[in-house]
Amino acid sequence: MAPRSEKDFKSIRDNRKAEILEAAIVLFAEKGFQGASISLLAKKAGISKGLVYNYFSNKDDLVKEVIDQGMIKMFEHFTLPSDVFTDADMDRLINQNFNLLDESPHYWQLYFSVIMQPEIMKLTIKSIMKIVMPMMQHLSSYFESKGYQDFESEAYFIGSLIDGVSLNYLYNKEIYPRDYAIRRIKEIINLKTN
């Protein structure tokens, strides 16, 4: 058997870290942030407590990584335009949001249940805003170009609307059918698309 290369070790580390993060999101959703311990996480992930500390210095760092990875996953398939956010960009953003929810509904149910915990929000709000702010700036510019007086408030309102509909869609698809939800969001924005 050939010795493992640096690439092999990196792959092993990346996979182990992903397993820990996956176990963490389930544990935080089940037990809440306060009820989840590193010991419980290690048990859920099937590893030693010490190995968890090889990857994360404490529970706060772990939850920040869980939230960061979710935010990155949310926006990884959406490239912000370099200049003006167009109707086509808005259309793509709304559709991709629902595609993500449909691709991994269990993950996003867990993610929303974790991110909604006040203790977690306090720990992660700066990190969340760092990831979300470029999108909010583009949305603000988009609504400014549409003639909205309070374009920043409109950007936050639409972001909240999409979040709220997404959360309800995940748990109540019969009440919030995908096509209806997308159509209504676009109507509220007065989005002219094909």
- pLDDT confidence of residue 142: 92
109-155 confidence digits (pLDDT tens): 888 888 888 888 888 888 888 888 888 999 999 999 999 999 999 99
Q: What is the DSSP letter of 36?
A: -
- pLDDT confidence of residue 1: 62
Alpha carbon separation from 119 to 16, 34, 65, 70 (Å, rounded): 26, 8, 15, 17
- pLDDT confidence of residue 66: 87
- pLDDT confidence of residue 194: 42
**pLDDT, tens digit only, all 194 positions of the chain:** 667 777 767 887 888 898 999 898 888 888 888 898 999 999 988 989 999 999 999 999 998 888 888 888 887 777 777 778 889 989 999 999 999 999 988 888 888 888 888 888 888 888 888 888 888 999 999 999 999 999 999 999 999 999 999 999 999 988 889 999 999 999 999 875 54
Determine the length of the chain. 194
Tokens of 135: 């999108």
Q: What are phi and psi of 74, to 5 degrees?
A: -65, -40
